[in-house]
Amino acid sequence: MLIFIERVGPLATVQDLGRQGWFDSGVGQAGAADRGSLRLANRLVGNPEGFAAIEVLLGGLALRADGHLTVAVTGAPAPAFVDGTPVGHASVLELDEGQVLRLGSASTGLRSYVAVRGGIDVAKVLGSRSRDTLSGIGPEPLAIGTQLPVGPPPRTFPTVEFAPVALRPELLTIRACPGPRADWFTDPDQLFRGSWIVSADTDRVGARLDRLAGPPLVRSVTRELPSEGVALGSVQVPPSGQPVVFLADHPITGGYPVIAVVLDADVDRVAQARPGEKLVFVAAPAISVADSTVRA
């Protein structure tokens, strides 16, 4: 069975939960920027959580079913229509052969996820079907005319018809713990004072932040930093003073100091923050390696 792509917005890619175990070869994990929304979409259609789905930036996707499909749309609540009829967000949808699912523009959030029962069955690259936009590894971004194969349905079946999803707050509160180079700043706690706004210069590699209110980040150590490993959620500060929160396609090494690391549980929320959205950092206790929820 195939899915035919009839329209694409700013960007749509195939994503699963990423490729594991290739950091020593210089290959990052990639995968869904909002892993929780991918997992939810897969659970709704009865798939294992890690099956590949479509990640849609800011809506604008239209796809046509080649046969009967069970699908779900999660993440940013883009208005969805089947042959022009509005359908629910985070709910189980049934498409018959020839029917078209269209996504409009979400009023909040940045990335929507379209899962299909059986998963998107493109070829794996290094164990994953994910597109890494930084390295160019994985399937090409979707375009008009792209045909996506659907895998065989799993033995499990959907158990609910829809999932209640909390509304996004007006002000995002992001928890972070001190980074390995916090001592390179005159006062690293300045990150947690005042508020920040998501810059337009934001993508799957990282969310760049501009200072909205509060003191700037000032380095006390100005010498060059040799490139060192960086984890998902690292808050790196380049010479501009605009911190960047590393997301799914982040480089595995970096040459700017990491002032803090966002807790793994909050990385998905940063990935859904759209340009112009406000956020504040709150300090989380330093965590040991054994107890850490900060992951590479």
pLDDT digits (tens, 9 = 90+) for 29-40: 999 999 999 999
pLDDT at 20 over 80: yes
- 143: which residues sit within 8 A by CB, 6+ positions away? 5, 8
Residue 294, pLDDT score: 44
CB neighbours of residue 251 within 10 Å: 18
pLDDT at 293 over 60: no
pLDDT digits (tens, 9 = 90+) for 79-138: 999 999 999 999 999 999 999 999 999 989 999 999 999 999 999 999 999 999 999 999
pLDDT digits (tens, 9 = 90+) for 149-169: 999 999 988 888 889 888 888
pLDDT at 25 over 80: yes
Residue 238, pLDDT score: 94
- 131: which residues sit within 8 A by CB, 6+ positions away? 13, 14, 15, 30, 137, 138, 139, 140, 141
CB half-sphere exposure, 134, CA atoms < 13 A: 19
Residue 159, pLDDT score: 83
Per the CB < 8 A criterion, the answer to whether 235 and 261 are in contact is: yes
Per the CB < 8 A criterion, the answer to whether 269 and 279 are in contact is: no
Residue 287, pLDDT score: 56
pLDDT digits (tens, 9 = 90+) for 228-283: 999 999 999 999 899 999 999 999 999 999 999 999 999 999 999 999 999 999 99
User: What are the DSSP calls for 32-65, one per residue?
Assistant: -SSHHHHHHHHHHTT--TT--EEEEESS--EEEE
